[in-house]
Structure 1
Amino acid sequence: MATFKVDTEQHGELNCWRITSEHAELLIAQQGAQILSYQRVGEPPLLWLSDQAIFRQGKSVRAGVPVCWPWFGNLQRNPASVQNMYKGEQAPAHGLVRGRDWQLNGAEQVGDTIQIEFELPAAQGDLPDWPHEVELKLLIELGEQLNVTLTSYNLGSDSVTISQALHSYFAVSDVRQARVEGVDGLSYIETLADWEQRQQQGALAFAGETDRIYLATPQTLSIVDPHWARRITLTSSGSRSAVIWNPWTERARELPDMADDGWQRMLCIETANVWDDVVELKPGASHSLGVQIGCEMI
């Protein structure tokens, strides 16, 4: 049976755990239950951690897999059913849970996999201006591949509607050489052109700022990186939508936690429930949003 090592670390203001196995190394922050980095032994990183990341309480780190919940992006761009769940006036982008400390329920070895479970008790009625009772858990499974699963269970007596995403930052050698396969023929929302709906032709290559919501997505998408001679495969569950984002040059210069050329080394594919793919949780119902991250040489 494989062995695992768990070390506690402090990065700026954030408490973190570094988990090392025979296959890979994982860095997780208590804030947001956010995976900050993921790298397999002897290979370039799979998840990207910004060189200029800011490790500050209350601020999501530009890295890894931030959890966006109970809405994604700008709340006003969400369906009314999601907007109506929130009673406040100022709605922070990407929801209410990225900047909060989660509770580590445990880390245990199951066969050749280590399972790390986090929970956010505040989701059970203590999130500001969001008066609903949901048990929210994040399960991270590290083995030969990485599995991330976010489960919402409605404990209340009324239905709850959410949008959400596992906002994954992937590491690439040069985004200008990479492409995303599995999107050919899909409809997408072009947020940079008045939110028009368009249709993808062929694989997605990158030649400028990209911010698209892909609809009715297949279970598997992949990032092909010729320079690193690898294919990162994303296998989703509980999701029919994905957001693909890269800030490119001008937007990157506006971000204090990204180097001016940092956009070249990253690409976001966010496993999501957004647009027409939001989740309605009836009382007693649950939903799990998951992604399995694998990699093969090509």
Structure 2
Amino acid sequence: MNTPNVEAVKLDELNCWRIRHGQAELLVAQQGAHILSYQVDGQPPLIWLNDKAAFKTGKSIRAGVPVCWPWFGNFERNPQSVQAMRAGKEAAPAHGLVRAMDWELGGIEAEGEALKIEFLLPYPEGGLPGWPHQVDLKLSIRLDAQLHISLTSHNQGAETVTISQALHSYFAVSDVRNVHVEGVNGLSYIETLEDWKTKPQTGDLHFTGETDRIYLDTAPRLSIVDPSWERRIELTATGSRSAVIWNPWIDRAVAFSDMADDGWQRMLCIETANVMGDVVALKPGASHTLGVSIGSTTL
């Protein structure tokens, strides 16, 4: 196999690694174990690297694949079983506690023709702020013909711990107005922009405005069809029965200081998740792995 090329780089305040393996290049930050971009030579990027993203210590990054854990989104919108895990009275940050923490690089090693990169976030003494539970966290990245991402939670404590979580993936698209998502027809979704009403999905999902939907009881396979780039991005999930599909559209994007006013056109989030009724209850000693494999085919 080809010897991987690993280069330590600095993006503003953040330590990162640029990793080449075969025809693929991966950029990942130590903060948040955050995949920033992924691209195969001769193709448009698969994972969107926001050109206005801020790479600041302690600030979550709006790009790539943020890790949302041990809760997803607005804390108060999480099921009571997830909310009951918190002990602190301070405000709970959106999307959990680990996006802005430094993870440990566990190793980069070959596995046959593939390359495996591993990050660890061991249980800190006293627990995470306002979250006193002994759960180790590991993010594994595998590069072969696809990009495989898996997040494993291992409960080292003596009590059951309930979490919600997501791999908040930003996918690069030619223009979100011209793509659609396959695999959602017939599903129910929660329309967060209309008082969290549950609605049925008919047909593929096309985009004509701000979108923020939680799809329930999803099948493992979803696809982004992008005719302009003549490709289909295929997502295969494991350990998940829910997905969040999001695009901020015009007004929301203008309000973001870390996104170009027209940045919404070039990205689409499909977040492999465990949310709402799909939350994870980890018994003492138990582990759970949330994963997604990402590849593309030509239309």
Return the TM-score normalized by structure 1: 0.99
1:48 maps to 2:48: yes
Q: Is 2:289 the partner of 1:288?
A: yes
Distance 1:206 1:123 in 2: 42
Once the two structures are TM-superposed, the CA of residue 2 in structure 1 deviates from its matched residue by 2.3
Q: Does 2:83 align with 1:67? A: no
Aligned to 1:195: 196
The equivalent of 1:239 in structure 2 is 240
1:229 aligns with 2:203: no
Deviation at 1:125, TM superposition (A): 4.4
Q: Aligned residue for 2:17?
A: 17
Q: Deviations over 1:202-257 (max 9, x none)?
A: 00000000000000000000000000000000000000000000000000000011
Distance, in Å, in 2 between the alignment partners of 1:290 and 1:221 is 13
Partners of 1:110 and 1:282 in 2: CA distance: 31
Partner of 1:255: 256
**Partner SS for 1:234:** strand
Matching of residue 208 in structure 1 with residue 218 in structure 2: no
Q: Does the 8 A contact of 1:23 with 1:143 survive in 2?
A: no
Between the aligned partners of 2:247 and 2:113, the Cα distance in structure 1 is 35
Measure, in 2, the Cα distance between the counterparts of 1:143 and 1:10: 26
SS class of match (2:229): coil
Cα separation, 2, equivalents of 1:280 and 1:126:
18
**Contact conserved, 1:184 with 1:203, CA < 8 A, in 2?**
yes
Secondary structure at the counterpart of residue 87 of structure 2: coil
Letter in 1 for 2:11: H
Deviation at 1:181, TM superposition (A): 0.2
CA distance in 2, matches of 1:39, 1:226: 18
Alignment of 1:120-199 (within 5 A): 120-122=121-123, 125-199=126-200
Alpha-carbon distance in 1 for matches of 2:136, 2:100: 18
Identity %: 66
Preserved contact between residue 140 and residue 149 of structure 1 (Cα < 8 Å): yes
Helix, strand or coil at the partner of 1:19: strand
One-letter code aligned to 1:183: V
Structure 1 residues 173 and 153, CA, compared in 2 at 3 Å: closer, same or farther?
Answer: same
Per the TM alignment, residue 124 of structure 1 is displaced from its structure 2 partner at its CA by 6.6
Q: Does the 8 Å CA contact 1:8/1:16 hold for their aligned counterparts?
A: yes
Matched, 1:38 2:43: no
The alignment partner of 1:176 has SS state of helix
User: For the residues of structure 1 that align with 2:131 and 2:44, how far apart are their CA atoms?
Assistant: 40
Amino acid across the alignment from 2:230: A
Structure 2 residue identity aligned to 1:99:
A
Q: Describe the superposition over 1:106-127 as per-residue Cα deviations: whole angstroms up to 9, x where unpaired.
A: 0001111110000112457431
Q: Is the 8 A contact 1:161 1:281 kept in 2?
A: yes
Instruction: Measure the CA separation in 2 of the matches of 1:143 and 1:2.
Output: 11
The 2-side partners of 1:124 and 1:190 are apart by 39
Letter in 2 for 1:57: T
2:23 equivalent to 1:6: no
CA RMSD of aligned residues (A): 0.8
Unaligned runs of 5+ in 2: none
What are the superposed Cα offsets for residues 70-102 of structure 1, whole Å, 9 maximum, x if unpaired? 000011000011001011221000000000000
Structure 1 unaligned runs (5+)? Answer: none
The answer to which of 118-127 and 266-275 deviates more is 118-127
Change (3 A) 1:220 1:294: same
State the alpha-carbon separation in 2 of the partners of residues 42 and 103 from structure 1.
32
Q: Any idea what the Cα deviations from partners look like across 1:154-190, whole Å, max 9, x if unmatched? A: 0000000000000000000000000000000000000
Amino acid of the structure 2 residue aligned with 1:56: K
TM-score (norm 2): 0.98
Distance 1:137 1:123, change over 3 A: farther
Q: Note if contact 1:281-1:287 (Cα within 8 Å) is conserved in structure 2.
A: yes
Q: Which runs of 4+ in 1 moved over 3 A?
A: 122-125
**Which residue of the partner structure matches residue 109 of structure 1?**
110
